[in-house]
Amino acid sequence: AGGFAREVYYWADDTFSKKNYRIKGFLSYNQKDLDGYNIKVGIIGNDDNYEIEENDRFVIAIGDIGIKKRAVNRLKKRGAKFISLIHPTAIIIPTAKIGEGVVICPYCLVSDNVQLDDFVMMNTYASCGHDVKVGKYSILSPYVALNGFVKLENEVFVGTHATVISYKKIGFQSKISANSVVMRNVPSKCMVFGVPGKNI
């Protein structure tokens, strides 16, 4: 129940209030995570001890890819079902394919023939141009721009205001630093920084 989860709480309230969903609370291993914050719901358990009910649906609001993946795996083993959160201010072209447990924050753009795989997160104002593919668990930070035909493999992190030009591919578990511009393909497990972006 960290900072990003608190943000998503309010966006979920915007998104689900008209869809007969009720926000029950947060899962966390730290019962004090919400102390000092004006949140109307509390911590109702953790990934291991929360008693999952038949109609429960889960949104994973974790900004660290590794922690998010472990949380999903724990909950899936216990029979949890996940839904995608798409804020009503986001622009989603109907031809886009959106997987399970995706979070799309306010003012994002998902264009024609985009594919967002399971548990992708797009933070505020991030955009995916036509024919972009984003692999599982990847994170697009605020104001990221992925231009047409860009492909991100699984578990890629793209920092705030970073841009990837058309047709480029970012390999598995690579990280793109904030404000960087990717102008060539990036192998797996690399860190890219700068304009133009270079492996460091």
* Residues classed as catalytic: 130
Structure tokens, 105: 């924050």
Q: How far is it, in rounded angstroms, from Cα 57 to Cα 38? A: 23
Helical residues (DSSP H) of the chain, grouped into ranges: 3-16, 65-77
Structure tokens, 33: 């995570």
pLDDT tens profile 71-122: 999 999 999 999 999 999 999 999 999 999 999 999 999 999 999 999 999 9
Listed by start position, the domains of the chain span: 3-77, 85-187
pLDDT tens profile 19-67: 678 889 999 998 888 888 888 889 999 999 999 999 999 999 999 999 9
pLDDT tens profile 129-139: 999 999 999 99
Question: Is the separation of the CB atoms in 163 and 142 below 8 Å?
Answer: no
Q: What CATH number does domain 85-187 carry, 2.40.110.10, 3.40.50.970, 3.40.50.300, 2.160.10.10?
A: 2.160.10.10
Q: Quick check: pTM over 0.85? A: yes
CB atoms within 10 A of CB 16: 16
Residue found by looking up tokens 């429960």 in the block: 56
Question: Is the separation of the CB atoms in 106 and 32 below 8 Å?
Answer: no
